[in-house]
A and B are shown apart, each in its own frame.
Chain A
Amino acid sequence: MRKQSLSARTRVAALCLALIALALPWAAARAQAQIPTSSGDNDTFVEATVNNVNPSQGDQLTYVFRYYQAVDALQLPGMLVGQPDYEAPEFSNFWAEGEIEQSSTQTQLNGRTYNVSELRTHIFPTTAGTITIEPARLILHGFPGEPDRVLETLPVTIAARALPAGAPASFNGAIGDYRLTANVDRTTATPTEPITLQLRLAGEGNVRMAPSPVLPDLPGWRVQERSNEVQIDVIDGRVQGTRTIDLLLLPSDDATSLTLPPIEYAFFNPATSTYLSALSNPIEITLLDGAGAPVAAVAPSAKALVDPAAAAGAVQAAPAAAAEAQSVADAAPVATPAYTIMAAPATLPIAARLVESPWFWALWLLPLFALIAGWLGLRTARTAAARQSERKRTHAASDALHDLRSAPDSAAAQKVLDDYLARALGRPVGGLTRTGRAALLTEKGVPEALQARVEECYTMGERARYSPTENVADTAAPERDQRMHSAVETVIRELDPLLRMPDSNRVAAVPTTVGAQSATANAGGAQ
């Protein structure tokens, strides 16, 4: 039996050792995994790269954000915690174009298999020099009540090369590889029928940033822009697009037939690092007068034309210096703007709408709180005052009877009665006339018989106070004081339950109480 037990224990130990031996390489592989990120762990991490760290200014870059999830790691189900949120960098000093492209793959990294989600953003550096792309963030949501986990990439720094010298004069900042075509809806115009000239600038590059082609002067013709639309596509990871400009050519009184000269469009091609020019095709336009006869053509402004021989090829590669020399005369003057712009402030404020801030609406609760606090405070103060007044009334009788015991004479006993009535009625009674006192006592439901006895006490007290006792031995004084004390005590004892009664009960209680008190008073008087 013991031998069998040992054997079983040995087998369990061997199994454990085997499991540990199997797990060690796996754990070691996990520990060796490199994390190309500033936050994350071996199971989940993020990284950011660009496809070119030394582009030309205005050249296209692809910013790639990757999210790695180990296949064998424990993942919270997306149905419960939601999908992670991607916060792209701000891309300051870049122009971001097109939608963010997304794809998913699997990859092996240090012996582990990872699911990789990739987000690609197409950006164009707008300035030359060292530019840093701030970290991108991925927010992984936890279960409700648990904090979110934020993964952050390292910043990516690129060195954008400035455009080389030798740009042609007609170069307006377009970077890419473009073709320019010109078409008209008809080649014959009348004084009342404008011609629509459509210019199409198409090619690879940031067409949205590329300035519009400049039409040369057309003497006698007014040019009005009808539309200027840009369409962007991303094909095989490269941003391409077309800018379509519709222009109305309106003949004036002195307009003549003309040949629309080739329009030159200079651009910098980052692939070849050279300045090139695209030339549109020339177009003959015939203007008919009112009788239908063509109006003779007059040579347009010399500066508006380029050598027609140059129009042989739609796009010509030109050495920069030559292009510059050729284009000096072609450069269209920059129109003076009708409006003055405001200078850029040192720091741009963040646009903020106060009404969209929850904190602003939270402030609306402060006056409400003040109102509630004021109301509650007032109520509390009133309750406290009422309670204090009630306390005074409650203890008025016992305090008065206590004071009465130490009152030396009738005058002091009357003072005790005064104080008692003041406290019990909640107002001073010392200066009141007999009528005033009676009114107050009647208001409190004190029966007339009892009122009469109160007044009798006052009469006794006044008689004692004002009797001529000076230099005359008043042998009746002790007896009179005794009677006064006794009367005051009786009156206070009988008044007390009446004056302590709440006002709400008084109306219903008065008849009964009056009757009872009258009976008591009569009985007291009889005794």
Chain B
Amino acid sequence: MTPAMVTAAPAQGMRKKLLLALVVLLLIAAPLAALGALALQQRPGNAATTSASTTMQAANALFTTGQYDLAAQAYAQLVAQGHGGRALLHNLGVAQLEAGNAAAAVGALSAAQRAYPRDVNIRSALADAERLARSTAAPLVAPEGAEAGAEPLTAVTPFDEQSPAAAPGRLAQVRLEWLSGTELAIIALLLWTACAAMLLLAITAAPNSGRRQGAIVAAMLLAAVLVVALWLLTI
């Protein structure tokens, strides 16, 4: 064995390890960077957002004094300025609801639910807003022959037809109720990363080996779930 042959094998092994480290780093970097970007986007604001918080406190004060319309308009202006957060979106919807603006309340609370789908307060307020919308969306008519004292108002248009919860498919509904767009986006990215890892495993495994076939099957399954996740993201 010549000296060249002696040194070639460790060098090749080192190169393989470096390559493996690079690939692993890239695979880990993608979801980590997504989480980092999310944290960066939702970072506490600067002076402008501090003054926005003051405005929100004023809007809260308007709400507690019964000026729901005014409070809703103040919340809406903050949202229009690009602010968000659970409290602001929830309060906007609730203020619209208290002001009797059913359609606006449904819109605001639906947006809040899309951002914070598992929040029970938002969910319950949205259900109330939809009930209110059902009773006011249609022209209010007194049923013929109604007796005095009976409930004179009926709604004829089912509001569910306009609700985002009526999006096609049970899966879409579950997604709207349990996963925010951001969470689903990160899940999709993780699925894509895992799919790429499985493909990489399949490439590196020996031909016709069980490991390779298993990796290919796993990659196909992950790709199928990824397609579903991407479809759900468009809802």
Contacts and interface: CB of A to CB of B under 8 A. Distances in A.
Contact of B45 (A248, A349, A368, A377): A349
Contacts of A92: 48, 51-52, 55
Given A208-B73, A337-B63, A352 B41 contact: yes
B57 interface: yes
Interface in A110-138: 126-127, 134
Nearest to A212: B69
B70 A348 contact: no
Given A211-B67, A355-B181, 18 more contacts: A93-B51, A126-B74, A173-B70, A337-B63, A339-B97, A341-B91, A346-B50, A346-B53, A349-B43, A350-B42, A350-B43, A350-B84, A352-B182, A366-B27, A375-B203, A378-B203, A395-B2, A399-B2
Contacts of B192: 364, 367
Interface in B41-67: 41-45, 48-60, 62-67
A24 interface: no
The 5 closest A-B pairs by CB, nearest first: A351-B84, A367-B196, A352-B41, A370-B26, A342-B87
Contacts of B199: 371
Interface of B: 2, 5, 8, 12, 15-16, 19, 22-23, 26-27, 29-30, 33-34, 37-38, 41-45, 48-60, 62-70, 73-74, 77-79, 81-88, 90-91, 94-95, 97-101, 115, 121, 125, 136, 140, 142, 146, 148-149, 152-153, 181-182, 185-186, 189, 192-193, 195-197, 199-200, 203-204, 233
Nearest to A96: B77
Interface stretch (A319-327, A381-389, A458-466, A467-475): A381-389
A131 to B, nearest CB: 9
B85 A370 contact: no
Interface centre among A347, A353, A385 (most CB of B within 10 A): A347
B146 to A, nearest CB: 6
7 contacts: A92-B48, A172-B65, A192-B148, A334-B66, A367-B197, A370-B26, A374-B200
Given A211-B70, A347-B49, A371-B199, A353 B91 contact: no
B100 to A, nearest CB: 4
B64 A337 contact: yes
Interface in A182-231: 191-194, 208-212, 224-226, 228
Given A337-B64, A344-B53, A377 B19 contact: yes
A337 B56 contact: no
A175 to B, nearest CB: 12
A341 B26 contact: no
Interface residues of A, number: 72
Interface centre among B37, B41, B45 (most CB of A within 10 A): B41
Given A339-B94, A344-B60, A351-B79, A363 B19 contact: no
Contact of B30 (A343, A352, A364, A374): A364
A248 B90 CA distance: 28
A374 B65 contact: no
B38 to A, nearest CB: 6
Given A93-B54, A357-B41, A363-B33, A342 B90 contact: yes
B122 to A, nearest CB: 10
B77 to A, nearest CB: 7
Nearest to B115: A351
